[in-house]
Amino acid sequence: MSRPFLEVRNVSKSFAGVRALENVSLTINQGEIRCLVGENGSGKSTLIKIIAGVYAPDHGDIIIGGKLFKRLHPIDSIREGIQIIYQDFSLFPNLTVAENLALNHEMSQRRRFVDWRGVNQIAREALARIGVEIPLNARVEELPVADKQLVAISRALLQHARLIIMDEPTTALTRREVDALFRVIKGLQQKGISILFVSHKLNEVYEIAEKITILRNGKNVADGDTSEFDRAKLIYHMTGRQVEQSRYEREAGGDQARPLLKVENLSRRGEYSDVSFELYPGEILGLVGLLGAGRTELAMSLLGLRPPDSGRIYIDGKPIKIRSFEQAVKQGIGYVPEDRLTQGLFLQQSIGRNIVVGTIDRYLNRFGLIDSRKVNGQISKWVRDLSIVTPSPLLPVQSLSGGNQQRVVLAKWLASNPRILVLNGPTVGVDVGSKAEIHRIIRELARQGVGVLLISDDIPEVLNNCSRILLMRKGRIVEEFTAGMVSENELVNKLSGAA
Protein backbone atom coordinates (compact mmCIF):
# COMPACT_ATOMS: atom_id res chain seq x y z
CA MET A 1 0.00 0.00 0.00
CA SER A 2 1.53 3.29 -1.05
CA ARG A 3 1.52 6.39 1.10
CA PRO A 4 -1.00 9.15 0.65
CA PHE A 5 0.46 12.14 -1.15
CA LEU A 6 -2.44 14.49 -0.60
CA GLU A 7 -5.13 14.39 2.03
CA VAL A 8 -7.97 16.82 2.13
CA ARG A 9 -9.88 16.40 5.39
CA ASN A 10 -13.37 17.67 6.11
CA VAL A 11 -13.01 20.82 4.11
CA SER A 12 -15.86 23.32 3.96
CA LYS A 13 -16.10 26.50 1.95
CA SER A 14 -18.85 29.06 1.52
CA PHE A 15 -19.14 31.98 -0.84
CA ALA A 16 -21.35 34.82 0.32
CA GLY A 17 -23.36 32.45 2.47
CA VAL A 18 -23.71 29.79 -0.21
CA ARG A 19 -22.18 26.46 0.72
CA ALA A 20 -19.90 25.32 -2.09
CA LEU A 21 -18.27 22.49 -0.14
CA GLU A 22 -19.35 20.79 3.03
CA ASN A 23 -17.07 18.41 4.92
CA VAL A 24 -15.43 17.15 1.78
CA SER A 25 -12.52 14.74 2.04
CA LEU A 26 -10.25 13.41 -0.66
CA THR A 27 -7.12 11.28 -0.50
CA ILE A 28 -4.71 10.61 -3.31
CA ASN A 29 -1.91 8.10 -2.93
CA GLN A 30 1.41 8.32 -4.61
CA GLY A 31 1.20 7.04 -8.18
CA GLU A 32 -2.55 6.78 -8.07
CA ILE A 33 -4.95 7.79 -10.80
CA ARG A 34 -8.12 9.11 -9.26
CA CYS A 35 -11.16 10.56 -10.95
CA LEU A 36 -13.14 13.36 -9.45
CA VAL A 37 -16.62 13.24 -10.90
CA GLY A 38 -19.71 15.30 -10.33
CA GLU A 39 -22.14 17.42 -12.24
CA ASN A 40 -21.67 21.10 -12.90
CA GLY A 41 -21.99 22.96 -9.65
CA SER A 42 -21.11 19.96 -7.52
CA GLY A 43 -18.05 21.73 -6.12
CA LYS A 44 -15.31 20.11 -8.21
CA SER A 45 -13.69 23.35 -9.27
CA THR A 46 -13.90 24.81 -5.77
CA LEU A 47 -12.13 21.74 -4.43
CA ILE A 48 -9.40 22.00 -7.06
CA LYS A 49 -8.89 25.65 -6.29
CA ILE A 50 -8.55 24.86 -2.61
CA ILE A 51 -5.91 22.25 -3.41
CA ALA A 52 -4.16 24.82 -5.57
CA GLY A 53 -4.19 27.30 -2.71
CA VAL A 54 -6.28 29.79 -4.66
CA TYR A 55 -9.15 29.60 -2.13
CA ALA A 56 -8.66 29.22 1.60
CA PRO A 57 -11.06 26.69 3.13
CA ASP A 58 -13.33 27.88 5.96
CA HIS A 59 -12.73 24.66 7.85
CA GLY A 60 -10.67 21.55 7.41
CA ASP A 61 -7.09 20.47 6.86
CA ILE A 62 -4.92 19.95 3.85
CA ILE A 63 -2.01 17.56 4.27
CA ILE A 64 0.53 17.32 1.50
CA GLY A 65 3.34 14.77 1.77
CA GLY A 66 2.72 14.45 5.51
CA LYS A 67 2.86 18.21 6.11
CA LEU A 68 -0.21 19.92 7.50
CA PHE A 69 -1.17 23.21 5.91
CA LYS A 70 -3.61 25.38 7.81
CA ARG A 71 -3.29 28.07 5.17
CA LEU A 72 -2.09 26.94 1.79
CA HIS A 73 -0.82 29.59 -0.61
CA PRO A 74 -0.58 28.95 -4.34
CA ILE A 75 3.19 29.06 -4.14
CA ASP A 76 3.19 26.39 -1.38
CA SER A 77 1.03 24.16 -3.48
CA ILE A 78 3.40 24.47 -6.42
CA ARG A 79 6.43 23.92 -4.19
CA GLU A 80 4.92 20.73 -2.87
CA GLY A 81 4.62 19.51 -6.42
CA ILE A 82 0.98 20.11 -7.25
CA GLN A 83 0.37 21.20 -10.83
CA ILE A 84 -2.99 21.99 -12.32
CA ILE A 85 -3.71 21.87 -16.01
CA TYR A 86 -6.69 24.10 -16.59
CA GLN A 87 -8.88 23.80 -19.63
CA ASP A 88 -7.31 26.88 -21.13
CA PHE A 89 -3.83 25.39 -20.46
CA SER A 90 -2.44 28.80 -19.52
CA LEU A 91 0.07 28.59 -22.35
CA PHE A 92 1.35 31.53 -24.36
CA PRO A 93 -0.16 31.16 -27.84
CA ASN A 94 2.32 33.55 -29.41
CA LEU A 95 5.47 31.90 -28.08
CA THR A 96 7.16 28.78 -29.33
CA VAL A 97 6.76 25.36 -27.75
CA ALA A 98 10.32 25.54 -26.46
CA GLU A 99 9.85 28.88 -24.79
CA ASN A 100 6.56 27.90 -23.21
CA LEU A 101 8.26 24.91 -21.67
CA ALA A 102 11.36 26.68 -20.45
CA LEU A 103 9.86 29.94 -19.23
CA ASN A 104 9.13 28.75 -15.70
CA HIS A 105 12.63 27.43 -15.32
CA GLU A 106 14.14 30.67 -16.52
CA MET A 107 11.95 32.67 -14.17
CA SER A 108 12.87 30.54 -11.19
CA GLN A 109 16.55 31.00 -12.03
CA ARG A 110 15.94 34.74 -11.94
CA ARG A 111 17.72 35.09 -15.23
CA ARG A 112 18.00 38.48 -16.86
CA PHE A 113 19.04 37.25 -20.29
CA VAL A 114 17.66 34.44 -22.36
CA ASP A 115 19.87 31.46 -23.06
CA TRP A 116 18.20 30.16 -26.22
CA ARG A 117 20.33 27.05 -26.39
CA GLY A 118 19.37 26.20 -22.83
CA VAL A 119 15.72 26.85 -23.64
CA ASN A 120 15.76 24.38 -26.49
CA GLN A 121 17.56 21.78 -24.46
CA ILE A 122 15.13 22.00 -21.55
CA ALA A 123 12.23 21.72 -23.95
CA ARG A 124 13.67 18.77 -25.85
CA GLU A 125 14.29 16.84 -22.66
CA ALA A 126 10.85 17.69 -21.31
CA LEU A 127 9.07 16.35 -24.36
CA ALA A 128 11.29 13.28 -24.47
CA ARG A 129 10.29 12.49 -20.92
CA ILE A 130 6.71 11.86 -21.93
CA GLY A 131 7.77 10.38 -25.23
CA VAL A 132 6.14 12.79 -27.63
CA GLU A 133 7.46 14.74 -30.56
CA ILE A 134 6.28 18.26 -31.15
CA PRO A 135 8.30 20.76 -33.19
CA LEU A 136 10.06 22.99 -30.69
CA ASN A 137 9.92 26.05 -32.90
CA ALA A 138 6.21 25.87 -33.65
CA ARG A 139 4.13 28.55 -32.07
CA VAL A 140 1.65 27.12 -29.62
CA GLU A 141 -1.29 28.80 -31.40
CA GLU A 142 -0.49 26.71 -34.46
CA LEU A 143 -0.75 23.41 -32.60
CA PRO A 144 -3.83 21.20 -32.43
CA VAL A 145 -5.48 21.05 -29.01
CA ALA A 146 -4.02 17.64 -28.20
CA ASP A 147 -0.48 18.89 -28.67
CA LYS A 148 -1.17 21.98 -26.59
CA GLN A 149 -2.24 19.68 -23.82
CA LEU A 150 0.92 17.62 -24.07
CA VAL A 151 2.94 20.81 -23.88
CA ALA A 152 1.03 21.77 -20.74
CA ILE A 153 1.71 18.35 -19.22
CA SER A 154 5.41 18.54 -20.06
CA ARG A 155 5.56 21.94 -18.49
CA ALA A 156 3.94 20.65 -15.32
CA LEU A 157 6.53 17.86 -15.14
CA LEU A 158 9.33 20.35 -15.53
CA GLN A 159 8.19 21.90 -12.30
CA HIS A 160 8.78 18.65 -10.46
CA ALA A 161 5.12 17.78 -10.36
CA ARG A 162 4.15 14.98 -8.01
CA LEU A 163 0.43 15.43 -8.47
CA ILE A 164 -1.05 16.61 -11.74
CA ILE A 165 -4.67 17.71 -11.70
CA MET A 166 -6.33 17.75 -15.09
CA ASP A 167 -9.56 19.65 -15.48
CA GLU A 168 -11.66 17.89 -18.14
CA PRO A 169 -8.65 17.21 -20.32
CA THR A 170 -10.44 15.27 -23.04
CA THR A 171 -13.16 17.76 -23.93
CA ALA A 172 -11.69 18.77 -27.27
CA LEU A 173 -9.83 15.58 -28.13
CA THR A 174 -10.62 12.87 -30.63
CA ARG A 175 -10.66 9.22 -29.54
CA ARG A 176 -7.17 8.63 -30.88
CA GLU A 177 -5.78 11.64 -29.03
CA VAL A 178 -7.49 10.52 -25.86
CA ASP A 179 -5.73 7.16 -26.21
CA ALA A 180 -2.40 8.92 -26.61
CA LEU A 181 -3.12 11.07 -23.57
CA PHE A 182 -4.00 8.03 -21.51
CA ARG A 183 -0.75 6.35 -22.47
CA VAL A 184 1.09 9.42 -21.23
CA ILE A 185 -0.90 9.40 -17.99
CA LYS A 186 -0.14 5.71 -17.40
CA GLY A 187 3.53 6.44 -18.03
CA LEU A 188 3.46 9.21 -15.43
CA GLN A 189 1.86 6.84 -12.97
CA GLN A 190 4.75 4.44 -13.33
CA LYS A 191 7.08 7.25 -12.36
CA GLY A 192 5.16 7.60 -9.11
CA ILE A 193 3.28 10.72 -10.13
CA SER A 194 -0.32 10.95 -8.95
CA ILE A 195 -3.08 12.08 -11.25
CA LEU A 196 -6.40 13.64 -10.36
CA PHE A 197 -8.59 13.48 -13.40
CA VAL A 198 -11.73 15.59 -13.54
CA SER A 199 -14.21 14.39 -16.12
CA HIS A 200 -17.78 14.15 -17.24
CA LYS A 201 -17.22 11.31 -19.61
CA LEU A 202 -18.02 8.07 -17.85
CA ASN A 203 -16.30 5.85 -20.41
CA GLU A 204 -13.04 7.55 -19.77
CA VAL A 205 -13.47 7.33 -16.05
CA TYR A 206 -13.71 3.56 -16.32
CA GLU A 207 -10.83 3.38 -18.70
CA ILE A 208 -8.27 5.37 -16.74
CA ALA A 209 -9.19 5.63 -13.09
CA GLU A 210 -8.30 3.29 -10.25
CA LYS A 211 -10.28 5.22 -7.69
CA ILE A 212 -13.30 7.43 -7.95
CA THR A 213 -14.48 10.28 -5.76
CA ILE A 214 -17.98 11.55 -6.43
CA LEU A 215 -19.23 14.95 -5.36
CA ARG A 216 -22.82 16.11 -5.40
CA ASN A 217 -24.02 19.50 -4.18
CA GLY A 218 -20.73 20.12 -2.42
CA LYS A 219 -20.71 16.87 -0.47
CA ASN A 220 -18.88 13.57 -0.74
CA VAL A 221 -21.44 11.02 -1.87
CA ALA A 222 -19.23 8.09 -2.75
CA ASP A 223 -15.60 7.11 -2.82
CA GLY A 224 -13.93 3.86 -3.74
CA ASP A 225 -12.32 1.57 -6.29
CA THR A 226 -13.56 2.01 -9.83
CA SER A 227 -14.55 -1.65 -9.89
CA GLU A 228 -17.09 -1.03 -7.14
CA PHE A 229 -19.16 1.20 -9.39
CA ASP A 230 -21.14 0.13 -12.38
CA ARG A 231 -22.44 2.68 -14.79
CA ALA A 232 -25.90 2.98 -13.29
CA LYS A 233 -24.54 3.35 -9.79
CA LEU A 234 -22.09 6.03 -10.86
CA ILE A 235 -24.81 8.03 -12.59
CA TYR A 236 -27.10 7.56 -9.64
CA HIS A 237 -24.49 8.98 -7.27
CA MET A 238 -23.73 11.90 -9.55
CA THR A 239 -27.30 12.92 -10.22
CA GLY A 240 -29.07 11.57 -7.17
CA ARG A 241 -31.68 9.94 -9.39
CA GLN A 242 -31.99 7.06 -11.81
CA VAL A 243 -31.40 8.14 -15.38
CA GLU A 244 -32.96 6.16 -18.18
CA GLN A 245 -30.46 4.56 -20.51
CA SER A 246 -33.03 3.11 -22.85
CA ARG A 247 -32.72 2.98 -26.56
CA TYR A 248 -34.76 5.16 -28.86
CA GLU A 249 -36.95 3.30 -31.30
CA ARG A 250 -38.39 5.12 -34.22
CA GLU A 251 -42.14 4.94 -33.99
CA ALA A 252 -44.47 4.28 -36.85
CA GLY A 253 -46.72 7.09 -37.91
CA GLY A 254 -46.81 9.93 -40.39
CA ASP A 255 -45.54 9.72 -43.89
CA GLN A 256 -42.77 7.19 -43.36
CA ALA A 257 -42.17 6.18 -46.91
CA ARG A 258 -40.90 9.44 -48.25
CA PRO A 259 -37.57 10.75 -46.96
CA LEU A 260 -37.61 14.21 -45.48
CA LEU A 261 -34.11 14.87 -46.69
CA LYS A 262 -32.29 13.07 -49.43
CA VAL A 263 -28.68 13.69 -50.38
CA GLU A 264 -27.30 12.31 -53.63
CA ASN A 265 -23.61 12.05 -54.58
CA LEU A 266 -22.74 15.21 -52.74
CA SER A 267 -19.08 16.21 -53.07
CA ARG A 268 -16.92 19.11 -52.06
CA ARG A 269 -13.30 19.02 -53.06
CA GLY A 270 -10.85 18.25 -50.28
CA GLU A 271 -13.59 17.73 -47.73
CA TYR A 272 -15.99 14.91 -48.66
CA SER A 273 -17.00 13.06 -51.78
CA ASP A 274 -19.88 11.07 -53.17
CA VAL A 275 -22.01 11.23 -50.06
CA SER A 276 -25.55 9.86 -50.33
CA PHE A 277 -28.07 9.24 -47.59
CA GLU A 278 -31.70 9.68 -46.64
CA LEU A 279 -33.27 11.04 -43.51
CA TYR A 280 -36.86 10.04 -42.71
CA PRO A 281 -39.32 11.88 -40.54
CA GLY A 282 -39.13 10.76 -36.92
CA GLU A 283 -35.68 9.36 -37.39
CA ILE A 284 -32.53 10.10 -35.44
CA LEU A 285 -29.69 9.40 -37.83
CA GLY A 286 -26.22 9.19 -36.34
CA LEU A 287 -23.14 10.42 -38.19
CA VAL A 288 -19.81 9.37 -36.71
CA GLY A 289 -16.25 9.70 -37.87
CA LEU A 290 -12.88 10.90 -36.68
CA LEU A 291 -11.92 14.53 -36.62
CA GLY A 292 -11.30 15.51 -40.21
CA ALA A 293 -13.49 12.78 -41.70
CA GLY A 294 -15.71 15.45 -43.21
CA ARG A 295 -18.66 15.30 -40.82
CA THR A 296 -18.77 18.96 -39.90
CA GLU A 297 -18.03 20.01 -43.47
CA LEU A 298 -20.99 17.94 -44.66
CA ALA A 299 -23.24 19.52 -42.05
CA MET A 300 -22.03 22.96 -43.10
CA SER A 301 -23.02 22.18 -46.67
CA LEU A 302 -26.53 21.20 -45.64
CA LEU A 303 -26.72 24.60 -44.00
CA GLY A 304 -25.48 26.47 -47.03
CA LEU A 305 -22.26 27.58 -45.33
CA ARG A 306 -19.97 25.55 -47.56
CA PRO A 307 -21.88 24.88 -50.77
CA PRO A 308 -21.09 21.50 -52.35
CA ASP A 309 -19.25 21.31 -55.67
CA SER A 310 -21.57 18.68 -57.06
CA GLY A 311 -24.46 16.42 -56.12
CA ARG A 312 -28.08 17.05 -55.23
CA ILE A 313 -30.08 17.75 -52.10
CA TYR A 314 -33.83 16.98 -51.99
CA ILE A 315 -36.26 18.05 -49.33
CA ASP A 316 -39.66 16.32 -49.49
CA GLY A 317 -38.57 14.88 -52.82
CA LYS A 318 -38.02 18.30 -54.35
CA PRO A 319 -34.51 19.19 -55.49
CA ILE A 320 -33.28 22.34 -53.79
CA LYS A 321 -30.16 24.43 -53.72
CA ILE A 322 -28.95 25.77 -50.41
CA ARG A 323 -26.57 28.64 -50.95
CA SER A 324 -26.85 30.44 -47.63
CA PHE A 325 -27.74 29.90 -44.04
CA GLU A 326 -30.91 31.92 -44.54
CA GLN A 327 -32.12 29.59 -47.26
CA ALA A 328 -31.43 26.60 -45.06
CA VAL A 329 -33.52 28.09 -42.28
CA LYS A 330 -36.33 28.79 -44.76
CA GLN A 331 -36.25 25.16 -45.79
CA GLY A 332 -36.81 24.24 -42.17
CA ILE A 333 -33.29 23.14 -41.30
CA GLY A 334 -31.99 23.98 -37.84
CA TYR A 335 -28.40 23.64 -36.64
CA VAL A 336 -26.97 23.31 -33.17
CA PRO A 337 -23.27 24.01 -33.61
CA GLU A 338 -20.32 22.28 -32.09
CA ASP A 339 -19.01 25.22 -30.18
CA ARG A 340 -22.04 26.78 -28.60
CA LEU A 341 -20.03 29.48 -26.87
CA THR A 342 -18.79 31.09 -30.04
CA GLN A 343 -21.28 29.95 -32.64
CA GLY A 344 -24.55 29.39 -30.90
CA LEU A 345 -25.10 32.00 -28.23
CA PHE A 346 -24.79 35.66 -27.40
CA LEU A 347 -23.28 35.03 -24.00
CA GLN A 348 -23.79 38.45 -22.49
CA GLN A 349 -27.36 38.73 -23.68
CA SER A 350 -30.31 37.47 -21.70
CA ILE A 351 -31.59 33.93 -21.89
CA GLY A 352 -34.89 35.16 -23.29
CA ARG A 353 -33.35 37.22 -26.06
CA ASN A 354 -31.19 34.28 -27.06
CA ILE A 355 -34.24 32.08 -27.38
CA VAL A 356 -36.18 34.41 -29.66
CA VAL A 357 -33.30 35.90 -31.65
CA GLY A 358 -33.80 33.58 -34.62
CA THR A 359 -37.54 34.03 -34.86
CA ILE A 360 -38.04 37.62 -33.74
CA ASP A 361 -39.77 38.53 -37.01
CA ARG A 362 -42.66 36.20 -36.14
CA TYR A 363 -43.68 38.14 -33.07
CA LEU A 364 -44.67 41.41 -34.65
CA ASN A 365 -47.86 43.28 -33.98
CA ARG A 366 -49.90 44.91 -36.75
CA PHE A 367 -47.65 47.97 -36.81
CA GLY A 368 -44.64 45.82 -37.58
CA LEU A 369 -43.20 46.40 -34.13
CA ILE A 370 -42.12 43.71 -31.73
CA ASP A 371 -45.04 42.47 -29.63
CA SER A 372 -43.47 41.96 -26.24
CA ARG A 373 -46.40 39.90 -24.99
CA LYS A 374 -45.92 37.35 -27.77
CA VAL A 375 -42.19 37.36 -27.18
CA ASN A 376 -42.50 36.79 -23.46
CA GLY A 377 -45.04 34.06 -24.07
CA GLN A 378 -42.60 32.25 -26.33
CA ILE A 379 -39.77 32.68 -23.85
CA SER A 380 -41.66 31.27 -20.92
CA LYS A 381 -42.98 28.42 -23.06
CA TRP A 382 -39.45 27.30 -23.98
CA VAL A 383 -37.98 27.83 -20.55
CA ARG A 384 -40.76 25.60 -19.24
CA ASP A 385 -40.73 22.99 -22.01
CA LEU A 386 -36.99 22.47 -21.91
CA SER A 387 -36.82 22.88 -18.12
CA ILE A 388 -34.11 25.54 -18.29
CA VAL A 389 -33.11 26.10 -14.68
CA THR A 390 -32.84 29.83 -14.02
CA PRO A 391 -34.31 32.32 -11.57
CA SER A 392 -35.21 34.59 -14.49
CA PRO A 393 -34.95 34.54 -18.30
CA LEU A 394 -33.64 38.10 -18.04
CA LEU A 395 -30.29 36.85 -16.75
CA PRO A 396 -27.40 36.59 -19.21
CA VAL A 397 -26.85 33.19 -20.80
CA GLN A 398 -23.35 33.01 -19.37
CA SER A 399 -24.85 32.70 -15.89
CA LEU A 400 -26.14 29.23 -16.83
CA SER A 401 -24.36 25.91 -16.53
CA GLY A 402 -23.21 24.15 -19.69
CA GLY A 403 -26.21 21.88 -19.85
CA ASN A 404 -28.66 24.73 -19.53
CA GLN A 405 -26.79 26.80 -22.10
CA GLN A 406 -27.15 23.95 -24.53
CA ARG A 407 -30.90 23.89 -23.86
CA VAL A 408 -31.07 27.57 -24.76
CA VAL A 409 -29.41 26.79 -28.09
CA LEU A 410 -31.94 24.04 -28.65
CA ALA A 411 -34.81 26.33 -27.69
CA LYS A 412 -33.64 28.93 -30.16
CA TRP A 413 -33.85 26.43 -32.98
CA LEU A 414 -37.00 24.72 -31.85
CA ALA A 415 -38.72 28.11 -31.77
CA SER A 416 -38.32 28.19 -35.55
CA ASN A 417 -40.16 24.84 -35.88
CA PRO A 418 -37.48 23.09 -37.88
CA ARG A 419 -38.38 19.91 -39.71
CA ILE A 420 -34.79 18.84 -39.98
CA LEU A 421 -32.43 19.38 -37.08
CA VAL A 422 -28.67 18.98 -37.44
CA LEU A 423 -26.99 18.54 -34.07
CA ASN A 424 -23.21 18.71 -33.88
CA GLY A 425 -21.93 17.35 -30.58
CA PRO A 426 -25.05 18.45 -28.69
CA THR A 427 -23.84 17.23 -25.31
CA VAL A 428 -20.14 18.15 -25.37
CA GLY A 429 -19.19 19.52 -21.98
CA VAL A 430 -22.63 18.85 -20.54
CA ASP A 431 -23.07 16.87 -17.33
CA VAL A 432 -24.79 13.52 -17.13
CA GLY A 433 -28.11 14.75 -15.78
CA SER A 434 -28.51 17.47 -18.41
CA LYS A 435 -27.31 15.07 -21.05
CA ALA A 436 -30.15 12.66 -20.35
CA GLU A 437 -32.53 15.59 -20.43
CA ILE A 438 -31.24 16.78 -23.79
CA HIS A 439 -31.55 13.24 -25.16
CA ARG A 440 -35.13 13.14 -23.94
CA ILE A 441 -35.85 16.41 -25.76
CA ILE A 442 -34.29 15.14 -28.97
CA ARG A 443 -36.32 11.94 -28.83
CA GLU A 444 -39.48 13.87 -28.16
CA LEU A 445 -38.81 15.98 -31.24
CA ALA A 446 -38.25 12.92 -33.34
CA ARG A 447 -41.53 11.45 -32.10
CA GLN A 448 -43.22 14.58 -33.38
CA GLY A 449 -41.84 13.87 -36.83
CA VAL A 450 -38.69 15.96 -36.95
CA GLY A 451 -35.76 14.34 -38.75
CA VAL A 452 -32.61 14.59 -36.65
CA LEU A 453 -29.07 14.25 -37.93
CA LEU A 454 -26.88 13.66 -34.88
CA ILE A 455 -23.15 14.19 -35.30
CA SER A 456 -21.24 13.05 -32.25
CA ASP A 457 -18.00 11.67 -30.87
CA ASP A 458 -19.86 10.18 -27.99
CA ILE A 459 -20.42 6.59 -29.11
CA PRO A 460 -22.87 5.55 -26.36
CA GLU A 461 -24.91 8.65 -27.16
CA VAL A 462 -25.11 7.66 -30.80
CA LEU A 463 -25.90 4.01 -30.03
CA ASN A 464 -28.66 4.85 -27.56
CA ASN A 465 -30.41 7.48 -29.59
CA CYS A 466 -29.98 6.69 -33.25
CA SER A 467 -31.97 4.25 -35.30
CA ARG A 468 -29.34 4.21 -38.03
CA ILE A 469 -25.69 5.19 -37.91
CA LEU A 470 -23.49 6.33 -40.78
CA LEU A 471 -19.75 5.98 -40.47
CA MET A 472 -17.62 8.52 -42.33
CA ARG A 473 -13.99 8.04 -43.10
CA LYS A 474 -11.80 10.31 -45.19
CA GLY A 475 -14.76 12.18 -46.61
CA ARG A 476 -16.82 9.15 -47.58
CA ILE A 477 -19.64 7.27 -45.96
CA VAL A 478 -18.07 3.84 -45.66
CA GLU A 479 -20.59 1.90 -43.61
CA GLU A 480 -24.11 2.04 -42.32
CA PHE A 481 -25.35 0.29 -39.18
CA THR A 482 -28.79 -0.29 -37.81
CA ALA A 483 -29.23 0.30 -34.10
CA GLY A 484 -28.64 -2.82 -32.08
CA MET A 485 -26.57 -4.41 -34.85
CA VAL A 486 -23.28 -3.06 -33.60
CA SER A 487 -21.77 -2.96 -30.13
CA GLU A 488 -19.96 -0.06 -28.62
CA ASN A 489 -16.57 -1.74 -28.92
CA GLU A 490 -17.10 -2.72 -32.51
CA LEU A 491 -18.05 0.81 -33.45
CA VAL A 492 -15.09 2.32 -31.62
CA ASN A 493 -12.75 -0.09 -33.34
CA LYS A 494 -14.23 0.63 -36.73
CA LEU A 495 -13.85 4.33 -36.10
CA SER A 496 -10.20 4.31 -35.26
CA GLY A 497 -9.18 1.07 -36.96
CA ALA A 498 -8.58 2.11 -40.50
CA ALA A 499 -7.91 5.79 -40.04
Q: Using CB under 8 A, list all residues that contact other proteins.
A: 90-95, 99, 103-104, 106-108, 111-114, 116, 135, 137-139, 142, 144, 291-292, 295-297, 338, 424-425
* The one-letter amino acid at 148: K
- As measured in angstroms, the least distance from the Cβ of 152 to other proteins is 11
DSSP 1-43: -PPEEEEEEEEEEEETTEEEEEEEEEEEETT-EEEEE--TTSS
**Is the CA virtual torsion 141, 147, 152, 157 positive or negative?**
negative
Shorter beta-carbon distance to other proteins: residue 94 or 245: 94
Shorter beta-carbon distance to other proteins: residue 116 or 346: 116
Q: What is the dihedral of CA 385, 386, 390, 393, to 10 degrees?
A: -70
Q: Which residues pair with 139 in a beta bridge?
A: 96
Pick the closest to residue 99 from 83, 81, 111, 114 (CA basis): 114
Pick the closest to residue 344 from 354, 332, 353 (CA basis): 354
- As measured in angstroms, the least distance from the Cβ of 343 to other proteins is 11
Pick the closest to residue 261 from 322, 206, 189, 343 (CA basis): 322
Shorter beta-carbon distance to other proteins: residue 168 or 283: 168
- As measured in angstroms, the least distance from the Cβ of 411 to other proteins is 24
Q: What is the spatial distance between Cα 288 and Cα 479, in angstroms, rounded to a whole number?
A: 10
Shorter beta-carbon distance to other proteins: residue 115 or 125: 115
Phi, psi of 224 (to 5 degrees): 165, -175
- As measured in angstroms, the least distance from the Cβ of 453 to other proteins is 15
Shorter beta-carbon distance to other proteins: residue 259 or 425: 425
- As measured in angstroms, the least distance from the Cβ of 172 to other proteins is 9
- As measured in angstroms, the least distance from the Cβ of 203 to other proteins is 19
Shorter beta-carbon distance to other proteins: residue 32 or 99: 99
- As measured in angstroms, the least distance from the Cβ of 170 to other proteins is 14
- As measured in angstroms, the least distance from the Cβ of 52 to other proteins is 11
Burial 239-257 (b: 16+ CB within 10 A, else e): beeebeeeebebeeeeeee
Q: What Rg do the C-alpha atoms of the chain give, in angstroms? A: 25
Answer whether 315's CB lies under 8 Å from 264's CB.
Answer: no
- As measured in angstroms, the least distance from the Cβ of 26 to other proteins is 24
Q: What is the spatial distance between Cα 495 and Cα 499, in angstroms, rounded to a whole number?
A: 7
- As measured in angstroms, the least distance from the Cβ of 421 to other proteins is 18
Shorter beta-carbon distance to other proteins: residue 147 or 431: 147
Shorter beta-carbon distance to other proteins: residue 146 or 414: 146
Burial 454-473 (b: 16+ CB within 10 A, else e): bbbbbbebbbbbbbbbbbbb
Shorter beta-carbon distance to other proteins: residue 93 or 319: 93
- For Cα atoms 198, 181, 474, give the angle at the middle one, nearest 5 degrees: 115
Shorter beta-carbon distance to other proteins: residue 425 or 451: 425
